[in-house]
Amino acid sequence: MTTLRSVLFLVGALAITVPFGFLVPLGRLFGSEPPFTLARLYTQVMLAWVRASLGIKHEVSGWEHVPKFPVIIMSKHQSAWETMFIDSAFPSQCWIVKRELQWLPFVGWGLIAIRAIAIDRRSGSSAREQIVEQGAERLKEGHWVTIFPEGTRVAPGKVGRYGVGGALLATRTGTPILPIAHNAGEYWPRYAFRKRPGTVKVVIGPLIETKGRDVISVNNDVQNWIEGQMRAISPERYAVS
């Protein structure tokens, strides 16, 4: 049944992604905001399809921490699920992504349309400066900025290296950080075709202030909060044998 559901999901996901792959870029013909609106609609439709086909639901705590002004979202990264959830649930966002993602058909076209910041992670300091320069521009334009500080998907119970790009942007601009923890990887494993039904637990944290602070302490606060919540969400993953 799990395999059948995963096949069904894939067929439906392609049917949804292809038309939106054209609609999101075409939205730019009508101004700067329509691509963001269409991208959010795409992820909302996809999440509904995820629930219907795969039986993956979600419950969220911490909505009271979400502000009315643009901030920087920094989230745990375990699967593709959270990319859809974050885009569907928060205001217009500029994503910081791997440059290679823009080369993908349909999805990549959408990332270009919403002016995602596509970086070459191998370029080190130049990538960080790109994040700061372009991220500051997007924040001034009223867009939120979303980044996965670990840079790539990590398996449940694992911790990746938290890059400082997001914290650098936050401290340079004095923008608060909204941290997010979740256990989507339990039901949608990274790089896995087969997904299993369940309820993803999402926790949205209180804002982490950055004005007048140094990059390292901010980055440590983000990591400590996210990883502390991960241990609360999935204690069995961190149990000492």
57: part of which helix (H) or strand (E)?
Answer: strand 56-61
Q: pLDDT tens across 218-235, in order?
A: 999 999 999 999 999 999
Q: pLDDT tens across 163-195, in order?
A: 999 999 999 999 999 999 999 999 999 888 999
Contacts within 8 Å (CB) and 24+ apart, 100-106: 105/21, 106/17, 106/18, 106/20, 106/21, 106/22
Mean per-residue pLDDT for 94-123?
Answer: 87
- Is residue 124's pLDDT more than 80? no
What whole-number distance in Å separates Cα of residue 4 and Cα of residue 179? Answer: 35
- In 3D space, the residue among 50, 46, 40, 162 whose CA is nearest the CA of residue 94 turns out to be 40
- Is residue 241's pLDDT more than 80? no
Ranking 83-97, 98-112, 140-154 by mean pLDDT, the lowest is 98-112
Band (pLDDT 50/70/90 cuts) for residue 213 is very high
pLDDT of residue 240: 65
List, in sequence order, every beta strand (DSSP E) within 136-175: 144-147
Mean per-residue pLDDT for 43-61?
Answer: 98
Percent of the chain surpassing pLDDT 90:
84
Set out the domains of the chain in order of their start, with CATH numbers.
Answer: 2-237 (3.40.1130)
What whole-number distance in Å separates Cα of residue 220 and Cα of residue 29? Answer: 42
Mean per-residue pLDDT for 35-59?
Answer: 97
pTM of the model: 0.93
What whole-number distance in Å separates Cα of residue 5 and Cα of residue 171? Answer: 44
Mean per-residue pLDDT for 64-84?
Answer: 97
